[in-house]
Chain A
């Protein structure tokens, strides 16, 4: 332990930093706000990491579980998300303030750390957005990887190194998770520490009560924002279902710039322009050491701000005007909501995707939505039964009343034709007792039903329906009804609608699907029946639904 030496103490006092102007209170306050926001992001990030698994089969499901099952999990995600946005905004404000006040006069290191932070920050959401492994993150990353791959000479190697192979995979996720939760926090933390040190934030913290208040305001603000704006979670990533994605909002100016500079000049938008701006900012302490050009720099920055604002505006306006894009985004949001609902109803299997959601995507992928309306949306060219309330009481009742209505067999060869003697006639004349037949039909598929009603319905069935329908596995005029409306029965119809036990020759309007396999057909059937059962059980909704559909 060296003796207390007056010369040494004097030397400390004479340290160049002591002679520097004390940072303005705005400079300190902004840094305090930034640190508070960073702290929220860091702590919520730790919280999220307790629940997250970075593999392609677990990432989406573990994120969905945060939304559906984990106490305050949704708020944690949203606060992390909103906090990140606040950090980026604050960082930009700090840069503008720094240029306006030539803050590098307090020490170049603090300024360089701030510019470094501005350069590194965008990497956090870039890596973070992939982690939920939802459609948006998947396709954003796909495009970002292509941009990296477009760099001259080393591009392809960089791309492969970044995503860990040729294609996005679990390796990519693990890599991005490591970058997002280990590498970036260290770099960002280091920058934040240097910024805080250069502005003597700790001293301010101790001496000024207002800084503590400010920090609290920032924290409360982030949580308030995150309560209103929930972090989005799209549907699970699926390489076979492309999505019309946009980059995060702070990349929109570059996105718009790239649209302007098509062809070989694109690299200007992706690499040159950002590189030029960052280098310029970093060099300011040397270009304008004394802060003499403050006004000119602010003017330059304002011009840049106007340009960025205009480019963002153009980009947002174009998307807003594009009906295709708006429709695609609405669809994607709806799919995301459904996927979450399905995850809550039935947990994901080993594929990592909720089985009901897999059923829906198979339905869409096989082109069923061309002819059938379903919970996946309206039919593109309706020419087959509307399956939205498939096998619900309301659906069955309406079917029995008039099978040849457009929403049932009306648009198909199965519509009733007296002259040809084909199709099924309606039984509206049976009136209220049709409800008993409905209960009986429900009992055929082993679904919840009213036993007494079903017994009465069985008698009605024998009287009115048995002429054409067998309730065994043998061919009859109409489909054999053993197991009618069950998952197995529905899957069989999907695989082979013109089977002699199903709709026979008249069912040939629908293509058969032997290639999809029984498992996929069962998934599709389960999904259709799940969606149908959601509409059917509430009597009010039943009446409303029926009314609406008959319009």
Chain B
């Protein structure tokens, strides 16, 4: 994910700001999931048929739904997206970690 970044007193264009999972379903539609684990905010990794957090072993299906047994209090956060021609534009929102409900960070 890239965006213009406001860093304290300066602004830099087109900086890496985070990572997302883009899952293309069989019917061609797409789902965008935040790659940040809702538990402690670690970055999740792909295990082929699942998404796993290496920090405390929360596991999610490719739809972002929790596999029972992990500590994550909620499913992976789904992010809004639109397809514009060749580009996928994602509304990159960060949610607070560690909560069962979805609360936008800093809100």
With a cutoff of 8 Å between Cβ atoms, the chain B residues found around residue A412 in the complex are none
How many residues of B sit at the interface, in one of the four size bands? 20 to 34
Contact of A174 among B1, B8, B56, B70 (CB under 8 A): B8
Interface residues of A in 236-287 (CB under 8 A from B): 238-245, 258-259, 262-263, 266
Known: A56-B7, A156-B96. A240 touches B54 (CB 8 A): no
Q: Which 10 A-B pairs have the closest CB atoms?
A: A242-B43, A244-B54, A240-B16, A262-B71, A166-B106, A170-B8, A146-B41, A150-B98, A171-B8, A146-B97
Give the complex CA separation of A160 and B96 in angstroms: 12
With a cutoff of 8 Å between Cβ atoms, the chain A residues found around residue B87 in the complex are 515
Interface residues of A in 127-150 (CB under 8 A from B): 139, 142-143, 145-147, 149-150
Q: Contact: A242 with B97, CB < 8 Å?
A: no
With a cutoff of 8 Å between Cβ atoms, the chain B residues found around residue A165 in the complex are 8, 106
Interface size on A, residues (CB 8 A): 40
Asked if B86 is at the interface of the complex by the 8 Å CB criterion, the answer is yes
Known: A139-B43, A143-B41. A262 touches B7 (CB 8 A): no
Scan A529-545; emit 1 where CB is below 8 A from any B CB, else 0: 00000000000000000
List, sorted by A's number, 8 A–B pairs whose CB atoms are closer than 8 Å. Answer: A56-B7, A142-B41, A143-B42, A165-B106, A167-B94, A240-B18, A241-B16, A258-B56
Q: Contact: A515 with B16, CB < 8 Å?
A: no
Known: A170-B9, A515-B86. A241 touches B19 (CB 8 A): yes
Known: A146-B97, A240-B17. A139 touches B10 (CB 8 A): no
Closest chain A residue to B10, Cβ basis: A170
Given A240-B2, A259-B56, A259-B71, 20 more contacts at CB 8 Å?
A: A55-B8, A143-B40, A145-B41, A165-B106, A167-B94, A169-B8, A170-B7, A174-B8, A240-B18, A241-B16, A244-B43, A244-B45, A258-B56, A263-B71, A263-B73, A324-B54, A325-B54, A328-B54, A351-B15, A515-B87
Give the complex CA separation of A325 and B17 in angstroms: 24
Q: Contact: A242 with B17, CB < 8 Å?
A: no
Give the complex CA separation of A146 and B45 in angstroms: 19
Scan A331-375; emit 1 where CB is below 8 A from any B CB, else 0: 000000000000000000001000000000000010000000000
With a cutoff of 8 Å between Cβ atoms, the chain B residues found around residue A150 in the complex are 97-98
Give the complex CA separation of A258 and B57 in angstroms: 12
Closest chain B residue to A160, Cβ basis: B106
Interface residues of A in 175-200 (CB under 8 A from B): none
Asked if B32 is at the interface of the complex by the 8 Å CB criterion, the answer is no
With a cutoff of 8 Å between Cβ atoms, the chain A residues found around residue B105 in the complex are 166
Give the complex CA separation of A195 and B84 in angstroms: 66
Contact of B18 among A143, A164, A239 (CB under 8 A): A239
Contact of A239 among B16, B70, B96 (CB under 8 A): B16
Interface residues of B in 76-95 (CB under 8 A from A): 86-87, 94
CB of B1 to closest CB in A, whole Å: 6
Q: Contact: A242 with B12, CB < 8 Å?
A: no
Scan B49-77; emit 1 where CB is below 8 A from any A CB, else 0: 00000111000000000000011010000
Give the complex CA separation of A205 and B73 in angstroms: 56
Q: Contact: A243 with B43, CB < 8 Å?
A: yes
Give the complex CA separation of A240 and B97 in angstroms: 17
CB of A551 to closest CB in B, whole Å: 29
Give the complex CA separation of A169 and B10 in angstroms: 10
CB of A533 to closest CB in B, whole Å: 27
Known: A139-B42, A146-B40, A245-B55. A240 touches B1 (CB 8 A): yes
Give the complex CA separation of A328 and B98 in angstroms: 24
Give the complex CA separation of A139 and B43 in angstroms: 9
With a 10 A CB-CB cut-off, give which of A238, A240, A263, A365 has the most chain B CB atoms: A240
Contact of A266 among B16, B54, B71, B106 (CB under 8 A): B71
Q: Contact: A242 with B71, CB < 8 Å?
A: no
With a cutoff of 8 Å between Cβ atoms, the chain B residues found around residue A164 in the complex are 8
Give the complex CA separation of A262 and B42 in angstroms: 16
CB of A370 to closest CB in B, whole Å: 12
Closest chain A residue to B44, Cβ basis: A242
Closest chain B residue to A258, Cβ basis: B56
Scan B2-29; emit 1 where CB is below 8 A from any A CB, else 0: 1000011110100111110000000000
With a cutoff of 8 Å between Cβ atoms, the chain B residues found around residue A56 in the complex are 7-8
Asked if B35 is at the interface of the complex by the 8 Å CB criterion, the answer is yes
Contact of B16 among A238, A244, A325 (CB under 8 A): A238
Closest chain A residue to B18, Cβ basis: A239
